[in-house]
Structure 1
């Protein structure tokens, strides 16, 4: 099946929001974007649904020398997801994994400070939480995000992305209550291939979108 590409993350977010319309204008819904690329998508989703927007910072643990390949991911509150099968297959020693995790944990803390400052994390207990990214490949980062949110006792966790491979969507249903992916191409290859424009999202863009969202714009 041929899939049309998205123009950019904002267009993808508007289209994604239409598929989530049953969650519109409900007081118990929160939208959390995964920085950095997931935040422009999440901004459009939150705006269309009339829901508050925040960020949940996760970091992929990339295989040394092949950083785009996830051997795991980390999220706040000490959450860590590891692909044990991949570690064994590539013979990655525990100390190499710990080295990568230390580096990524430092970057996670830096981003927490940059995007949140002293602003407390929202109380998600009993809420419907929609976790948004610009796309999924292995799903490691999103799995870590779901597990981090699950510890906050939400009523429901919805994973929502513009594009992801079918097997990743299926695997995420082990931890999420619902997975919404507008395009599920096979072969998948890479998230960026499904966008006409896919520039790197900057810290400044994330901060600006959060400010605009909190300002009610």
Structure 2
């Protein structure tokens, strides 16, 4: 059981430091919950911090179940879970509407979180450390990995506090290295493995990104 996201970041930083130094590292967080974890890691290894914004595309009548993901970039990428679309009978009209809704939220977060050019435009040859506060199905993480891989980084390391063992095995096939603290069985939900798992606010994200930028 982890105390909170900051403690999770410190434990992951301990594990990452065993592999240091890193070639031209950058820490990318999946907001919002991944940012407090990533902030501690970036501080400890002396790397810049940024976010990669991914919006889950929720299924009809169950928004928590991912039928795909929308990833920021130029162009933006829509990654679909074709098996789920077929099984649930999701039509084009619903898919177009959920993509439009999540694109609006993605653009809102881009404007709020970034006062400078996105680091996503310059990942070539870098060691990318991709961080979230935990993984459940892993769909947003997989979508982020696909977008990052297109930028030809030198290496991609996924660092997460908690995730199901089978999902971690899937992530290992997409990343160059995976660091995880706990793979509990049974796995109920990410928040069940934290003592404190309050929702991270936009203001907290902005403050943590500003603090990290001031230290660069």
TM range (shorter): over 0.9
Q: 2:19 and 2:47 mapped to 1: Cα distance?
A: 9
Q: Which runs of 4+ in 1 moved over 3 A?
A: 22-27
**SS across alignment from 1:19:** helix
In the other structure, the counterpart of 1:103 is: 101
Structure 2 spans left out of the alignment, 5+ residues: none
Q: 1:117 and 1:104 mapped to 2: Cα distance?
A: 21
Q: 1:80 deviation in Å?
A: 1.9
In the other structure, the counterpart of 2:86 is: 88
Question: Given the two structures, how large is their TM-score scaled by the length of structure 2?
Answer: 0.93
After the TM superposition, which residues 1-217 of structure 1 pair with which residues of structure 2 at under 5 Å, given as runs? 5-26=1-22, 28-77=24-73, 78-121=76-119, 123-216=122-215
Q: 1:25 deviation in Å?
A: 4.7
Q: 1:119 deviation in Å?
A: 2.8
Q: 1:106 and 1:23 mapped to 2: Cα distance?
A: 39
Structure 1 spans left out of the alignment, 5+ residues: none
- Pairwise CA RMSD: 1.5
Q: 1:65 and 1:208 mapped to 2: Cα distance?
A: 34
Question: Given the two structures, how large is their TM-score scaled by the length of structure 1?
Answer: 0.93
The count of residues paired between Structure 1 and Structure 2 equals 213
